[in-house]
Amino acid sequence: MVWTTYKEKIKRLSQRLVEAQRPIRILDAIKWDPSIEAGLRKSRYKQMPKVDAAYYESIPLPFDVAKKQEELREIIADISASLGDQDSVGRLLSRICEEYIEVTELLLARGTKRFWEVSRKLYGSPKDAFFDEKNTILDLGQMLYGILSSLNEHSIGPDYPENIEAEEVVDALNERFKEYFPDGGVQARLSDGIVADAAAGGDVVKIKSGALFSSRDIDILEVHEGWVHAGTTQNGNLQHIAKWLSKGPPRCAATQEGLAVIMEIFTFRSYPRRARAINDRILGIDKAEDGANILELIEFYRTEGYSEDECLFNAKRVFRGGVVEGGAPFTKDISYCRGFVENYNFMRAAIRLGRPYLIPFIFSGKLHVDDIPLIYQKYKEGIVDEPRYLPPQFRDLNGVAVWMSFSSFLNSIDLKRIQDHYDKLFKAYL
């Protein structure tokens, strides 16, 4: 038997894991045919769509579930044999394999209540609590709903009309990507096969043909899809040993989406309606968990001022893969707000504990924020490469350090007393 180094073992096992997960594509497996949306429109949202287990059975998975599970279990066994049960990287790789097995169970359960049960295990629920075990994700959603709903965007800044065609967006993004990805590793392209207006995949940011955008949308796409989603994929692909960082299982979703939201905020590109759209996904998922059906959820979004297209889009995100009659939604979309809180608190803690050097490693690839201490340790051992593509705010941490320092103190101030003070002052003059 040929002797192999620890690094060689990790690289070999990582590559096997990357190959094993390749055909497992959650969103492709739960995507609805356009006829479902057309039927909803035709019935004027009075007739429930026929999207059940039988419907999903007509959309075969591109892999044999039993064989895929067996393959992943063999990798787990080889990780234990090669690295031992106590190796930190081995434990992480095994956990990722186990999660992909859960994903195959998720896809087997499409159109049933069990789909939600597995989804909740993988992504969580609005009813889950944060670290403090006092505040839930739903608490955050309800608080933000109250604040964001009261804001009048016309009094905050100028209007940004959606009058830019997809072709122009592609050209504008590619000009910007030349600066952030000078080697040409990421390109924007038109696409007819995506549900959302934009999506990042590998080395491509796909822009939906026929969609219209505002100049502010372009700014957001640059940082959200480009700097974060495409950037972390590229940083993962560039790992010479830690190949597992190029692919993100569900446990990475909150860190990824939360980081994208943070970049929108750090670069002052987000706006209240955008934040509301992200936040209202929490409320929609919670309503569906409590039994609201798809027609009721479409009506909820309509009463919140969304357009017909937006109502359909938001409701489909909640019910895809689950049960349209209610009680069993797809919970992935809590990841945006949940991840924002988790990532932000990680950064605050890293600054406060004197370890700011950990923060840039959140861009190393597809990872969970709790993996970063391990990632940094393996960076020092020459197993993980530092991220090549970093936003300017994270190449120079001075601004982030000051922001987080003040943020830590501001959280200790009694906001209720401040609000009462200014409420009286505002009423006296306004």
pLDDT tens for 153-208 read: 777 888 898 999 999 999 999 999 999 999 988 999 999 878 788 999 889 999 99
Single out the residue of 339, 338, 344, 404 nearest to residue 366, CA to CA. Answer: 339
Q: What is the 3-state secondary structure (H, E, C) of 69-132?
A: HHHHHHHHHHHHHHHCCCCHHHHHHHHHHHHHHHHHHHHHCCCCHHHHHHHHHHHCCCCCECCC
226: pLDDT confidence band, cut at 50, 70 and 90? very high
Note the pLDDT of residue 127: 97
pTM of the model: 0.94
pLDDT tens for 46-97 read: 999 999 999 999 999 999 999 999 999 999 999 999 999 999 999 999 999 9
pLDDT tens for 306-326 read: 999 999 999 999 999 999 999
DSSP state of 252: G
Cα 348–chain centre separation: 21
Least confident of 94-103, 230-239, 320-329, 420-429: 420-429
**How far is residue 171 from each of residues 188, 270, 332, 381, measured CA to CA in Å?**
8, 22, 31, 41
Percent of the chain with pLDDT over 90: 87
- Tell me how far apart the alpha carbons of residues 295 and 293 are, in angstroms, rounded to a whole number: 6
Note the pLDDT of residue 317: 96
pLDDT tens for 363-394 read: 999 999 999 999 999 999 999 999 999 999 99
pLDDT tens for 2-18 read: 678 999 999 999 999 99
pLDDT tens for 9-57 read: 999 999 999 999 999 999 999 999 999 999 999 999 999 999 999 999 9
Res 423 pLDDT > 90: no
Quick one: average pLDDT of 140-161? 87
312's CB contacts (< 8 A; 6+ apart) are 37, 40, 41, 298
For the chain, the average pLDDT equals 94
Note the pLDDT of residue 1: 57
410/70: higher pLDDT: 70
Instruction: Locate the domains of the chain by residue range.
Output: 158-240+255-266
49/411: higher pLDDT: 49
